[in-house]
Amino acid sequence: MEVLGIDIGSYGIKGAIVNTVLGEIISKKKTTGELEDTRPHKLISKMHDIVKQFDWDGPIGCAFPAAMNRGIVLSANRINEAWVDADADHLFSEITGCSVNVINDTDATGLAEMTFGAGKNQKGTTIV
């Protein structure tokens, strides 16, 4: 399965198409400019821009710089406080027309490492 992976970080938004079976990036990485404004409408617009760069209409996985619970933003330490209680899954899905699943960026890193990296096939508890 191919998914557009998007990382919303302090320095901008990065994206690439990923083969989720192999855990491999299969496209060139594309980025937006620096994020000077992280209010919801600005990030939503930047997300739309990067999806358009890929001419993408499939599923999207998004790493987001906030505590999340089932797509709902719980904190705003690294983004504008207007995000708190926002349904990021819904907002990003609505603007892109794609199915979008948003999780915390650190959780995304840990999940990828345990699925495709050093933690693959390891047993036990992992704390990120």
Residues 6 or more apart in contact with residue 32 via CB below 8 angstroms = 12, 13, 46, 49, 50
| Residue 115: strand, helix, or coil | helix
Q: How confident is the model at residue 2 (pLDDT cuts 50, 70, 90)?
A: very high
Predicted TM-score (pTM) of the model is 0.90
Check if the beta carbon of residue 56 is closer than 8 Å to that of residue 2: no
- Check pLDDT > 80 for residue 5: yes
- pLDDT, residue 128, reads 67
Tokens of 63: 């790493």
Residue from 79, 107, 103 nearest 89 by CA: 103
DSSP 123: -
Q: Write out pLDDT tens, residues 33-64.
A: 888 899 999 999 999 999 999 999 999 999 99
State the maximum Cα–Cα separation within the chain, in Å, rounded to a whole number. 42
Residues 6 or more apart in contact with residue 117 via CB below 8 angstroms = none
Domains (ranges, CATH) in the chain?
A: 2-116 (3.30.420.40)
Check if the beta carbon of residue 65 is closer than 8 Å to that of residue 79: yes
